Amino acid sequence: MSPKEREKLIRRIWIVITYVVLITFALVYLMPFIRSLVASFMTWAQASRYPPEWIPHPFTLENYEKLFRLELFPRWIRNTALYAGLIVAGNILFASMAGYAFARLKFPGRDAIFSALLSLLMIPMFVTLVPNYIIIYKLGLIDNIFGLSLLGLTNVSSIFLMRQYFMSLSNEIFEAARLDGCGPIKAFFYIALPLARPALGAVAVYQFLGSWNAFIGPLIFLRSPENFTLPVGLSFAFQRSMWTEYTPIIAGSLVASAPTIILFLVLNKYLIRGIVITGGKG
């Protein structure tokens, strides 16, 4: 065997090893989803058996039938979509403006304010629950989707991501705009914002995934079943006084995850772009 053939053989072996490792890790990460999918077609008696069984016997659609018989199920989907839509719209608008200000405008204490803002990332969410509850209560917006959305209209990580993107844009573009008489506000709306579509897409995807699956916030701030979001509604519908119907909740979780899976498949390039932006120019 010539050295060139040996080198080609070694390269093929490494490719095979790489694929085996990647497929193994993919199966490990996919296992909970696969298990949920299988369990959604089982009775709870079979789904809870140990060692776990992987073939539904009998195969049943009862869990999905229970789910779609829920009178409030369409309303919970609508509430969740409204909540996620408000969060996405708020973050796109406010985070882009804040990111532009921190990246392109000069004002006293800019870097200190931005550092203080970043320090908020270190504070656990549970620490802010009580102050946020008091604020929303004083505003009379408890048990209101719009009141709940107020807390997430902007996000520090979204501001950070937008700032990083605006800093990566060429200075010459803004200098040319300034020489043509374009002020900071006009430069934001006519130059910076149209150029920031990849970053805005990343912000939209991140925030949609987070708000669609949110549980703790809606659980604390919403009271009426009519106002629940889907994750809280599912828990409410199948929670009994002494036990919980887990298999319909699993089926509901799979249905609820469908929009996020579709969104990820369509827009995953924006998620990757967001990671690249965050690790870029600082």
> Contact, 202 vs 273, CB < 8 A?
yes
Is the separation of the CB atoms in 279 and 167 below 8 Å? no
* Global pTM value: 0.82
Torsion of CA 195, 196, 201, 204, to 10 degrees: -140
CA angle 265, 26, 259 (to 5 degrees): 25
> What pLDDT, on a 0 to 100 scale, did the predictor assign at position 278?
61
Q: Specify the pLDDT at position 96.
A: 93
Rounded average pLDDT over 177-197: 87
pLDDT tier at 179, thresholds 50, 70, 90: confident
pLDDT computed for residue 182 by the predictor: 85
**Looking at residue 206, what is its pLDDT?**
87
**Cα separation of 40 and 20, whole Å?**
29
Question: 201-253: per-residue pLDDT in tens?
Answer: 888 888 998 898 898 999 999 999 999 999 899 888 887 777 788 888 888 88
Show the DSSP H helices in the chain as ranges.
3-39, 44-47, 62-68, 73-90, 96-104, 110-119, 125-138, 145-150, 156-168, 171-179, 184-187, 193-195, 197-212, 216-221, 230-238, 246-278
pLDDT band at 275 (very low <50, low <70, confident <90, very high): low
**132 contact partners, CB below 8 Å, separation of at least 6:** 151
Rounded to the nearest integer, the mean pLDDT of the chain is 88
For position 280, what pLDDT does the model report? 56
Q: What pLDDT sits at residue 80? A: 93
pLDDT mean over 3-29 = 91
Instruction: Quote the radius of gyration of the chain (alpha carbons, Å).
Output: 24
pLDDT of residue 279: 59
pLDDT digits (tens, 9 = 90+) for 45-89: 888 888 888 888 888 899 999 888 888 988 999 999 999 999 999
pLDDT tens per residue, range 127-170: 888 999 999 999 999 999 999 999 889 889 999 999 988 998 88
pLDDT at 79: 93
Q: Inter-axis angle of helices 156-168 and 246-278, to 10 degrees? A: 30
Could you tell me which residue, 276 or 127, shows the higher pLDDT? 127
**pLDDT at residue 1 greater than cutoff 80:** no
Cis peptide before 248 (omega within 30 of 0): no
Does the structure show a pLDDT above 60 at 282? Answer: no
Does residue 184 have a pLDDT over 70? yes
